[in-house]
Structure 1
Amino acid sequence: MKKLYWAALSYTVLGLIAGLYYRELTKAQGFTGDTQLSVVHTHLLALGMLFFLVVLALDKAFGLSGNRLFTLFFWFYNSGLVVTAAMMVVHGTMTVFGAESSAAISGIAGLGHILITLGVIHLFLALRKVLPGQRDGAEADAAKVG
Structure 2
Amino acid sequence: MSKKLGRGGVFYREFTTLSVFHTHYLMLGMVFFLLLVVVKKNFHFVDNKVLKYLLFYRIGLNLTVVMLTIRGVVQVLSLDVSSAVLSGIGHLILGISMILVLISIRNCVKDSF
- TM-score computed with the length of structure 2 as normaliser: 0.78
Counting aligned pairs with the same residue, the percent is 29
Query: Aligned ranges for residues 82-97 of structure 1 at < 5 Å?
Result: 82-96=62-76
Using the TM superposition, give the Cα deviation of residue 36 of structure 1 relative to its aligned residue in structure 2, in angstroms.
2.3
Aligned length: 106
Q: Which amino acid in the other structure matches residue 25 of structure 1?
A: F
Q: Which amino acid in the other structure matches residue 84 of structure 2?
A: S
Q: Is the 8 A contact 1:37 1:88 kept in 2?
A: no
Task: Tell me how far apart the structure 2 counterparts of residues 37 and 132 of structure 1 sit (CA, whole Å).
Answer: 40
Structure 1 unaligned residues grouped into runs of 5+: 1-20, 136-146
Residue equivalent to 1:115: 93
Structure 2 unaligned residues grouped into runs of 5+: 1-7
Residue equivalent to 2:78: 99
Cα 1:37–1:72 change in 2 (3 A) is same
1:66 aligns with 2:52: no
Larger Rg: 1
Q: Alpha-carbon deviations, 1:78-123, whole Å to 9, x = none?
A: 1111100100001112222x231422x1100110011001111211
Aligned residue for 2:46, secondary structure, equals: helix
Q: Alpha-carbon deviations, 1:38-57, whole Å to 9, x = none?
A: 32122111110111100111
Task: Tell me how far apart the structure 2 counterparts of residues 116 and 26 of structure 1 sit (CA, whole Å).
Answer: 24
Task: Tell me how far apart the structure 1 counterparts of residues 68 and 22 of structure 2 sit (CA, whole Å).
Answer: 10
Residue equivalent to 2:4: none
Residue equivalent to 2:56: 76
Using the TM superposition, give the Cα deviation of residue 66 of structure 1 relative to its aligned residue in structure 2, in angstroms.
2.4
* Runs of 4+ more than 4 Å apart: 132-135
Q: Which amino acid in the other structure matches residue 65 of structure 1?
A: V
Task: Tell me how far apart the structure 1 counterparts of residues 63 and 87 of structure 2 sit (CA, whole Å).
Answer: 6
Q: Is the 8 A contact 1:65 1:71 kept in 2?
A: yes
